Structure 1
Amino acid sequence: MSLLSGSKVPLDETTRLLHPDTSSTTSHDDDSSQSSSSSLYDNGSPTRSYGATVKSDEEEQREPDAVASTAVQAEYSNGFIARVVVALLVGVFTASADASLVIATHPIIASTFDDLENSTWLFISFLLAGAATQALYGKLSDIFGRKPVLLASYGLFAIGSALIGVGQSMWQVIVGRVISGSGGAGMMALAAVIITDLAPLRDVASWQSYLNVVATVGRSLGGPVGGFLADTIGWRWSFLGQAPIFLLAMVLCGIVLPKLTTGQNRDDADAKKSRLARIDFLGAAFLGSGLLALLLPLKIGGQQVPWTSPVVAALFASGAVLLGLFMVTEIRWAKEPIFPLRLLKNREVVISYLTMACQTAAQVGMMVSVPLYFQVTERTSSTVAGAHLMPAVIGNTVGSLLTGAWIGRTGYFKAPLVFAGIISFISYGLLILRWKGNTNWAESLYIIPGGFGTGVSLNAVFVALQAAIDPKDKATAISGLYLSIPIGSILGMAACNAVMQAITPVDLASRLSGLGINGSEAEQIIKNATSRLDYLDEAPKVVREAIQAAYVRGLEYSHGVSLLCAVIATTAAVCAKRGRLRR
C-alpha cells in the first residue's frame, strides 16, 4: 500500500504518513515536499506526527468501507487536553454570548445615537467582517503558529469590545464591531484546529462537542444577560466587561497551550524567507472583498435599497469579478495560497462545506422567525418570545454531545450526517403544518428536532472533513468550514426575510380586500403592520386577526426556506462516502 510514492513500505499504527526527514531517493514535487514539512508539530516534547492506521489486505476485504484515519497519535493525556479545552472555552463562551447580546440590545444601542434605522448594522458588520477575514486564520496559524494567532484574535476582540463601550457615535461603535468580528472569526476555527493537533481524530468529535455546547449556552445566555445589563447599568458595560474576560482568556491560553508550531516553521530553506512574504495578501484581499460584495446586497436588498436598485446589481457583479480574480491569483501567482483551490476538487470537502452552510442557514432562519411568531400570535414580550428558543438550544446541546460519543465509540460519521438532515426536515415540516397561530406548549417543542439536527451535523461534518483531507491542509480546510457558517447565517436570514417581505403584505392585502378595506386605507394598514408590531394592539379586532393570519402565512414560507436547506443538507450527506475512523 503506497502513500507517497509508488514503492511499497511496511506500515503499522505508528508509521508516519508525511515524514519530513525522509531520505528516500524517490523524487517528490513541491506539493509533496510542502506536505512533508507541514505535518510535524514541535511542542517541546518528542516529535508528534500524523499516523496511518492501516489494516491487512484480508481485513480490508472484510471492511471495504473503512477510511484510514489521519489522526494524530495521542501523546497528550486526556487530562492535559481537558485543561487546554477549558482554557479555550472562556473565549468561545464570551464570543458566543456577544452575538446574541447584540441581537437583543441593538435597538437600545442605536437609539442612544438616534439612529435606530441602522441598528442592524451592529451585527451585520460583525458577520461581514468575520466572513471577509475567516480564510486568513488557517494559513496564518500555519506560518506563525497556533498560539500567537489565537492570542491575536482574542486581542482584536477585546479591542473591538472596548471601542464599542466607549464609542461616542454610531460609526465608532460599528468600527468596534468590525474589529471584534475580525477577531471572532479566528476563535472557533483555531480552537478546533488546536483540538485536532492534540487529540486522535476519533476522539476529536467528543472534545469538539464541548466547544459546541459552550458556544450554544453562550448564545442562549447572551441575550438575557445583555438585556438585564442594558436595563440596569447601561449597555456599554455589556461590552466593556468583555475586554477583561478576553484578557483573562489570553493569559490562560498563554499558560496552558503548548507551542504548536507547524513543520513549515523549521529552520529549512523555506523558513528562511520572511514570514510576512509568505502571506498571500493579494489573494486574501480579493477573497475578502469579493465575499463582502456578494453578501452585502443580501442584507441591504429589500431593506435599505430595493432589490431592483442598480447598487444591488453592481455589488453582485463586483463580487463575481473579485472572486474570479481571487481564483486566478491562487492558481497562477500565489506561492502559498491563502486557500488552496485544489481542496474544492475533493468531493467530500465540498459536501462538508455545503452541509454546514445549509444546516446553519436552516437553523438561523428558524431562530429569527420563532420569536416573531409568538410576538405576533400571542403578543408576548421579547423576553418570553426569546425563551421559546430554549428547546432548540437544548436540542442542539444534546445532539452535539451524543454525536461526539457516537463517533468516538463507533468511528462512523456518515450516519449522523444523514440523520441530522432527516430530523431537521421533520422539524421544519411540523412548523409549516402545525404552527397556525394557536400553538400550545407541546407543539412549541417542534423546534427541538431542528436544534438537535444542527448539533449533530456540526460535530459529524467536522470529523468528515478531517477524514477526507491531507493533514497539511487541516488549518485552511477548517477555516473554510467555519467560513461557511457566517455565509450560511447571512443567506438564511436574507432568504427568510425576503420571503416574509414578499408574502406577508400580499396576503394581508388579500385579506383586507375580503373585509372590504381597499385603497389608501389598506395601504396604510399594511405599512403600519409591517413596520411596527405594537400596531396589533391598536388595530380593530378583525384587522388584527387579518394581520396575524398574514404573518403566519409569511412565516410558513420562511420555514419552507429552512425546509429546503434541510433537504439540500440531507441530499449532500447521502452523497458522502460511507466511512469509518479506525483506531
Structure 2
Amino acid sequence: MVQRHGDQPSLETEREPLLRDTAQPSSDYLYHAYRSISEEGIYNRFIKPVPEGDEEQSLGSDETESLKQSAHVNVIKIISVMLLGIFVAQTDTSILMATHAIIASEFKALKDSSWLIISFSLAGAATQTLYGKLSDIYGRKRMVIIAYTMFMVGCAIVGMGQTMSQVVLGRIVSGAGASGMSALVSVLITDLLPLREVAQWRAYVNLVATLGRSIGGSLGGCLADVVGWRWSFRVQVPLITLAIILCSAYLPSHTGTLDETDDTTQLKSKFSRIDFKGSFIFAALVLALLLPIELGGVKIPWSHPLIFVYLGASVILLVLFIAVERRQAEPILPLEIFHSKDAILSFLILGLQTAAQLGLMFTVPLYFQVTSTPRPSATVAGAHLVPAVMGNAIGGIISGSAIKRSGRYKSLVIWAVTCSSIGYLLLMLRWHGNTNSWFESLYIFPGGFGMGVTNSALFISLQVVIDPAHMAPAVSFMYLMQTVWMTIGLPAANTIMQTVLRRNLEIRLLKLGYDNVEVAKVCALTLCLSLCLSLCGMAQG
C-alpha cells in the first residue's frame, strides 16, 4: 500500500521504511529529546556527523548507550505531559454532549442548544490545518501552548457566561484550541520517535482519549446535578493551566536545526512565511462545506436554498484555494500531499470508518431504549456502547505492538475494515428488537476494534508516503478529515433512521385509523424524541 517518493513497487516497500534505523533512533529524535534539557554541545558531540578522520572525537559505546537511554526517558516525559491536555479535551466533548440541553434551558434557548456543539465543531475544523504549518514555522512548543491557552480561555468564558451568545463564543474559542491539542501531540510523536514506534505511542494517546470520552458524560451530568453545569467547565481551567506549565517545562523549544539569526530578523522572516491568503480561503471552504451538513435537517430543511448556496460556495472556494496554493512558496496545505494515491486512500478509508463508527454510536443507545423492557435510562442505554469503546482502545494497542514488531500495516488495515464490516453486518442480520443475549450485545465490539486498528495503521501509512517536510500539515489534514466525516456520519445516520422510522410509523398509524394530520404530529414528536434520547445515550456512553 505504500510506495515512497517515486520508488518502484517491490515486496519490501511496505516494511523497509519502518525497519530502517531500528537499533538507533533518528538524529532528529535525539536532537529533539535533548534540546529541552541540554546544551547544544550534546548535538555537536553525539548527533552531528563526525568528519572523516575525526572518529576519535565520537562518544564511547557506554556513553552512547547512556545517552540513548536518557533520550528515551525524556521522550516519555515529553509525551506524558501532553496526555493531560488530551484527556481534558476529550472529556470536555463528552461533558458538553451531556449538558448542552441543561445549559440552553437556563438561558431559555433550548432550540439553540445544538449551536453549543456545532460552534465547537466548526471552529475546530476551520483552524485544524493551521496548526500543522504554523508549528513548522514557529515551533511545536509555542503552538501547543497557544492551543492550550485558547482552550483554557474558552472554558473560562463558558464557565462565566451570562448569556447564550457568550457561552457559544466560549465554545468557539475552545474548539479552535482543541483542534491544535489533538493534532500537535501526534505531530510531536512523529518528531520524537522512530517510525516503527509511532503507532504504539499513538495507541497510548488514543487510550487516554477514549478514557476521557468515556467518563466525560457521567462526570458532566453529575457536576450539573450537584454544583451546576458551570463547574464542569471551570474545573478544566486549573487542569489546563497545569498542562501549560508542564509543557513549558518539558517540551523541546526547537524543532529543527539551530538558527543563528537574531530574534527580530527571525520573527519577521517567520511572519512572512505564513500563508494568510490560503489560510483564510481554506477556513472559509471548510465552513461552507460543514455548515449545510450541520444545519440541514436540524435548523433548516435539506431542500432549503441556503443549503445549495453553501455547497456551491464550497466548490468555488476549493477551486480558488487550489489556484492560490499552487503559487505559494510555503502553502498552508501543500498540494503535493495529494499526489500520492496511498495518502488519498488513507484519508478516505479513515474518514469512512469514522463516519460508520459514529453512526453506530448514535443508533445503538436508541435501539436499546426502544426495544428493551422495562425501558432503560439514558445512562444504561449508553452503557451498551462500552464494548465499542473498549474495542477501540484494545485495537489501537494491539495494532501498535504488531506494527512495531513486524513493520507491516497494510494487512492490518484490510483486516480491520473487514472486521468492522462483519460487525455491522451482524447487527443488521441479528438485531431485530429481541436482543436479549449478552453475547449478541457484543456485536458492536468489532466496529470499535476495527476503528482502533485502522486509526493506528493508516497514520503509519501516511507517514511512509508523505515527504517528511509536509508531515505536520498532512497530520493536521488527517485530523480534519476525521472531523469532516464525523460531521457527515451523524446526520447521515439520523436521516436514514428518521426516514425508515417515519415510513414505518405512518403505515402503522394509518392502519389504526388516524388521519394524516394526526399522523404527521405523532411522527414529528416521535422523531424529535428519538434524536434527544440518542444524543443522551451517546453522552452517557
Please give the TM-score of this superposition, normalised by the length of structure 2: 0.85
Match of 1:438 among 434, 441, 444: 434
Q: Is the alpha carbon distance of 1:287 and 1:41 closer, same or farther for their aligned partners in structure 2, counting shifts above 3 Å?
A: farther
State how far apart, in whole Å, the 2-side matches of 1:495 and 1:389 are: 19
In 2, are the aligned partners of 1:91 and 1:154 still within 8 Å (CA)? Answer: yes
State how far apart, in whole Å, the 1-side matches of 2:324 and 2:68 are: 38
Is 1:223 aligned to residue 217 of structure 2? yes
Q: Superposition pairs for residues 281-320 of structure 1, below 5 Å?
A: 281-320=276-315
Deviations 1:280-320 (A, max 9, x none): 11101111111111111111112211111111111111111
Match of 1:462 in 2: 459
Match of 1:112 among 91, 106, 113: 106
Match of 2:192 among 191, 195, 198: 198
Structure 2 residue identity aligned to 1:447: I
SS of aligned partner of 1:369: helix
In 1, are the aligned partners of 2:90 and 2:212 still within 8 Å (CA)? Answer: yes
State how far apart, in whole Å, the 1-side matches of 2:148 and 2:370 are: 39
Match of 2:376 in 1: 380
State how far apart, in whole Å, the 1-side matches of 2:302 and 2:5 are: 52
Deviations 1:120-145 (A, max 9, x none): 11111111111100010011100110
Match of 1:452 among 449, 453, 460: 449
In 2, are the aligned partners of 1:76 and 1:198 still within 8 Å (CA)? Answer: no
SS of aligned partner of 2:454: helix
Match of 1:522 in 2: 519
Deviations 1:88-131 (A, max 9, x none): 11000010111111111111111111111111111111111111
Q: Is the alpha carbon distance of 1:91 and 1:535 closer, same or farther for their aligned partners in structure 2, counting shifts above 3 Å?
A: closer
Match of 2:319 among 317, 324, 329: 324
Match of 2:474 in 1: 477
Deviations 1:27-64 (A, max 9, x none): xxxxxxxxxxxx9996544169899xxxxxxxxxxxxx
Structure 1 residue identity aligned to 2:443: Y
Structure 2 residue identity aligned to 1:493: L
Structure 2 residue identity aligned to 1:400: G
Match of 1:244 among 238, 241, 257: 238
State how far apart, in whole Å, the 1-side matches of 2:237 and 2:174 are: 11
Structure 1 residue identity aligned to 2:284: S
Deviations 1:332-375 (A, max 9, x none): 2x221000011101112111111221111111111111111122
Match of 1:422 in 2: 418
Q: Is the alpha carbon distance of 1:272 and 1:393 closer, same or farther for their aligned partners in structure 2, counting shifts above 3 Å?
A: closer
Residue 443 of structure 1 and its aligned partner are, at CA, apart by: 1.5
Q: Is the alpha carbon distance of 1:380 and 1:77 closer, same or farther for their aligned partners in structure 2, counting shifts above 3 Å?
A: same
Gaps of 5+ in 1: 5-11, 21-38, 52-72, 537-550, 552-583
Deviations 1:538-558 (A, max 9, x none): xxxxxxxxxxxxx9xxxxxxx
Gaps of 5+ in 2: 7-19, 50-66, 535-541
Residue 261 of structure 1 and its aligned partner are, at CA, apart by: 2.2
SS of aligned partner of 2:301: coil
Residue 255 of structure 1 and its aligned partner are, at CA, apart by: 1.1
State how far apart, in whole Å, the 1-side matches of 2:511 and 2:447 are: 36
State how many pairs are aligned. 488
**Percent of aligned pairs with the same amino acid:** 45
Q: Is the alpha carbon distance of 1:237 and 1:517 closer, same or farther for their aligned partners in structure 2, counting shifts above 3 Å?
A: same
Q: Is the alpha carbon distance of 1:234 and 1:434 closer, same or farther for their aligned partners in structure 2, counting shifts above 3 Å?
A: same
State how far apart, in whole Å, the 1-side matches of 2:409 and 2:283 are: 32
State how far apart, in whole Å, the 1-side matches of 2:332 and 2:258 are: 15
Residue 533 of structure 1 and its aligned partner are, at CA, apart by: 5.2
Q: Is the alpha carbon distance of 1:84 and 1:41 closer, same or farther for their aligned partners in structure 2, counting shifts above 3 Å?
A: closer
SS of aligned partner of 2:241: helix
Match of 1:488 in 2: 485
Deviations 1:227-256 (A, max 9, x none): 100111010000011111111001111111
State how far apart, in whole Å, the 1-side matches of 2:190 and 2:309 are: 41
State how far apart, in whole Å, the 1-side matches of 2:229 and 2:512 are: 44
In 2, are the aligned partners of 1:529 and 1:535 still within 8 Å (CA)? Answer: no
State how far apart, in whole Å, the 1-side matches of 2:410 and 2:444 are: 23
In 2, are the aligned partners of 1:74 and 1:199 still within 8 Å (CA)? Answer: no
Residue 187 of structure 1 and its aligned partner are, at CA, apart by: 1.1
State how far apart, in whole Å, the 2-side matches of 1:353 and 1:185 are: 17
State how far apart, in whole Å, the 2-side matches of 1:493 and 1:3 are: 37
Deviations 1:134-193 (A, max 9, x none): 010011100110101001100000000000001111111111111101001111211011
Q: Superposition pairs for residues 384-403 of structure 1, below 5 Å?
A: 384-403=380-399
Match of 2:343 among 349, 356, 370: 349
Q: Is the alpha carbon distance of 1:533 and 1:40 closer, same or farther for their aligned partners in structure 2, counting shifts above 3 Å?
A: closer
In 2, are the aligned partners of 1:42 and 1:262 still within 8 Å (CA)? Answer: no
Match of 2:10 in 1: none
Is 1:183 aligned to residue 173 of structure 2? no
In 1, are the aligned partners of 2:5 and 2:467 still within 8 Å (CA)? Answer: no
Residue 204 of structure 1 and its aligned partner are, at CA, apart by: 0.9
State how far apart, in whole Å, the 2-side matches of 1:314 and 1:264 are: 49
In 1, are the aligned partners of 2:396 and 2:455 still within 8 Å (CA)? Answer: yes
More helix by share: 2
Q: Is the alpha carbon distance of 1:469 and 1:535 closer, same or farther for their aligned partners in structure 2, counting shifts above 3 Å?
A: closer
State how far apart, in whole Å, the 2-side matches of 1:217 and 1:151 are: 23
Structure 1 residue identity aligned to 2:450: G
SS of aligned partner of 2:88: helix
State how far apart, in whole Å, the 2-side matches of 1:535 and 1:243 are: 29
State how far apart, in whole Å, the 1-side matches of 2:296 and 2:109 are: 19
Match of 1:90 among 73, 84, 90: 84
State how far apart, in whole Å, the 2-side matches of 1:526 and 1:489 are: 27
State how far apart, in whole Å, the 1-side matches of 2:111 and 2:441 are: 31
State how far apart, in whole Å, the 2-side matches of 1:77 and 1:275 are: 29
State how far apart, in whole Å, the 2-side matches of 1:398 and 1:49 are: 36
Match of 1:275 in 2: 270
Q: Is the alpha carbon distance of 1:534 and 1:498 closer, same or farther for their aligned partners in structure 2, counting shifts above 3 Å?
A: closer
State how far apart, in whole Å, the 1-side matches of 2:343 and 2:317 are: 23
Q: Is the alpha carbon distance of 1:40 and 1:381 closer, same or farther for their aligned partners in structure 2, counting shifts above 3 Å?
A: closer
State how far apart, in whole Å, the 2-side matches of 1:315 and 1:13 are: 49
SS of aligned partner of 2:297: coil
Residue 77 of structure 1 and its aligned partner are, at CA, apart by: 3.2
Residue 477 of structure 1 and its aligned partner are, at CA, apart by: 1.0
State how far apart, in whole Å, the 2-side matches of 1:19 and 1:471 are: 14
Q: Superposition pairs for residues 104-183 of structure 1, below 5 Å?
A: 104-183=98-177
State how far apart, in whole Å, the 1-side matches of 2:531 and 2:237 are: 36
SS of aligned partner of 1:416: helix
Q: Is the alpha carbon distance of 1:222 and 1:49 closer, same or farther for their aligned partners in structure 2, counting shifts above 3 Å?
A: farther
Residue 523 of structure 1 and its aligned partner are, at CA, apart by: 2.1
Is 1:502 aligned to residue 494 of structure 2? no
SS of aligned partner of 2:299: coil
State how far apart, in whole Å, the 2-side matches of 1:82 and 1:338 are: 30
